[in-house]
Structure 1
Amino acid sequence: MTALIALIRKDLILYLHDRRALLVNLVMPIVIAAFFGSVFGGSGSKGSAIEVALVLQDQSPLGAKIADGLKADANLHVTVLDLEQAKKEVRKGAQKVAIVVPAGFGDAAGAAFFGHSDKPEISLLYDPSQPAVLGMVKGMLTQQVMQVVSAEMFNGQAGHDFTERSLRQLEQAAQTDPDSAVTRDMLKSVLAFQTRATQGAQDAGKPQKAGLSMPFSTREQQVSASSAMQGYNGYAHSFAGMGVQFILFMGVDMGIGILLARRSGVWNRLLAAPVGMSTVVLGRVASATIIAFGLMCVIFVAAHLIFGVQVPNIAGFVGVAFAFALLTACFGMLIAAFGKTPEAARGISIFATLMMVMLGGAWIPSFLFPHWVQQVALVVPVRWAVDGLDAVTWRGLDLAAVMPAIGVQLAFALVFGALALWKFRREQD
């Protein structure tokens, strides 16, 4: 036991005196996690408004009302530009979408509202990298156009003029077509109603009635296991992902360090001491586990103090962090056991680490992946580490809910550690 403690103490002292290792494994994940956290929504705040250019070629009152409605939408930041400027801004990515309302749109839309003419087109120029934004803008544009056009046709001057034009046409057709006479009489009643409604609103000083609008509203309510949590926290996930990534890099460095020690002969001299192979390997695993666990704790302390990341399930966090720390240590030993040279092992292990980090959802949340990628990622240990850390932070789940994540990581650690020990013993024999 004294030899094991001495080995662990030696590794800890060497690591803490390595300023490069502390910079890479501690400072870098905090800085990068802060960046990614702000990109993915920060601490649950609403995203910024969508940058939209508006090219208003229609000078009718209806076109002006559509423009005012779009500008009033809190989800949009509307900039009025001419067509060439709008194309230029969208092309370089400064504007996500450009809405082009053509000349004569107001009159044509009013006629098309009742199906009497072809529908006018509103052009949408969009950044090809923003297809999701295009769908959102189309939805908000549809709502504004439908409400403005219907209001104008039912209660506005354009609707009044359209009814009068239709009446003149029906007066001529009624001389030979009895059905037209019936329609003419109906439109006369409609015209009388529009006239009274408009005059009454003007006399009372009331605004014009609104047109058709959405027949329902929505009420958003976040659902989480803890009442203290406020929904998805981009910082919590980013600190989990970046912490996992850079701590895995620490495990890679540990494995490469053993390969360098074997090349220099230090490893063989250590094995020649009165300690067994199992003690040496266990000492390395224990020291690496302590370092990895300490790094994860410090990273999340920084996340809490600087960015307000909450960890309501401390026991769950300790369990997940310790399981991942042990997994990292065993992963490093696996690299050392099967690596031929430090140079070759470094390239392969970094590639394997980046693949695990990418598929595990450390960079981008796994729930954004296609379904088949999510299923494949279940065999990646990093996926369970990141999901476990998400569960004990912004999801606010209890210890029982994260036991599968802890168990899977421990199982991977056991397999990696057993393979590494078997390989070391085989080479020693």
Structure 2
Amino acid sequence: WATRSVGGWAMMFLLFTMTGSATSLFDEKKNGVMLRLLASPISRTHILWGKYLFNMSLGIIQLLFLFTVGWILFDIDIFSNLFNLVLVVIAASIACTAFGMLLAAFCRTAQQANGWGTLLILTMSSIGGAWFPTSLMPDYLLVFSKMTIIYWSIDGFMQVLWRGVGTLAILPNIGILLGIAALVNIVSVLQFKKGHVF
């Protein structure tokens, strides 16, 4: 119970954090920071990757911190399979960062991005297993559950922390999370090139 709860809530909080961090692009544009950056010998691509890598690092730190809290408060064993836990954490952070950048790419204002972000995050949390086990869901809803970042992240956390599996067993989870991130990043970059954000 504790492993699922900590993993689920950690992922939901991470998605909110990544949404806020990515949409800070709008504030930077409004405050003139982006114009000063673009006036320097830095391309839009460099700015985006800098923002992406910063947010991804922030996500990794946040997830590891929350699992450490889970270890302290609920005695979750995070050390016996730490390497594989870190692998899932990195993949989950990459995917969540991509989600935040996608919102920033398609929305026109920070308020709009935060509104859509809240709706999508709560939806993904409810069907992805953050609030209750997906085993309680009907089959038709499970199909949609498996389309979410949260589902594959929590499943990876459960396999590592609860079942103690090896690296090979979590490769599908990592592959799917990275695949989602790659697809979303491609769409985001194409949208950013239209230049409505900066």
Range class of TM-score, shorter chain = over 0.9
**2:13 maps to what in 1?**
246
Q: 1:4-43 to 2 correspondence within 5 Å?
A: none
Q: Distance in 2 between matches of 1:313 and 1:367?
A: 25
Q: How big is the shift at 1:358?
A: 1.1
Say if 2:95 is the partner of 1:307: no
**1:377 maps to what in 2?**
145
Structure number with the higher helix fraction is 2
CA contact (8 A) 1:259 1:339 kept: no
**1:275 maps to what in 2?**
42
Q: How big is the shift at 1:376?
A: 2.2
After TM superposition, the runs of 4+ consecutive aligned structure 1 residues lying more than 4 A away are none
> Of 54, 57, 64, which aligns to 1:290?
57
Gaps of 5+ in 2: none
Q: How big is the shift at 1:371?
A: 2.0
Q: How big is the shift at 1:275?
A: 0.9
Please tell me the residue identity of whatever aligns with 1:384: W
Say if 2:118 is the partner of 1:342: no
**1:406 maps to what in 2?**
174
Q: Distance in 1 between matches of 2:92 and 2:34?
A: 26
CA contact (8 A) 1:326 1:413 kept: yes
* TM-score, length of structure 2 as denominator length: 0.93
Say if 2:75 is the partner of 1:328: no
Q: How big is the shift at 1:283?
A: 0.6
Q: How big is the shift at 1:264?
A: 3.0
- Matched residues, number: 196
For residues 62-115 of structure 1, the C-alpha deviation after alignment (integer angstroms, 9 at most, x for no partner) is xxxxxxxxxxxxxxxxxxxxxxxxxxxxxxxxxxxxxxxxxxxxxxxxxxxxxx
* TM-score, length of structure 1 as denominator length: 0.44
- RMSD value, Cα: 1.6
Q: Distance in 2 between matches of 1:357 and 1:249?
A: 11
Q: 1:102-181 to 2 correspondence within 5 Å?
A: none
Flag the structure with larger Rg: 1
Q: Distance in 2 between matches of 1:336 and 1:273?
A: 22
**1:366 maps to what in 2?**
134
CA contact (8 A) 2:23 2:101 kept: no
Structure number with the higher strand fraction is 1
Q: How big is the shift at 1:279?
A: 1.0
For residues 144-185 of structure 1, the C-alpha deviation after alignment (integer angstroms, 9 at most, x for no partner) is xxxxxxxxxxxxxxxxxxxxxxxxxxxxxxxxxxxxxxxxxx
Q: How big is the shift at 1:342?
A: 1.5
Name the % identity.
27
CA contact (8 A) 2:153 2:173 kept: yes
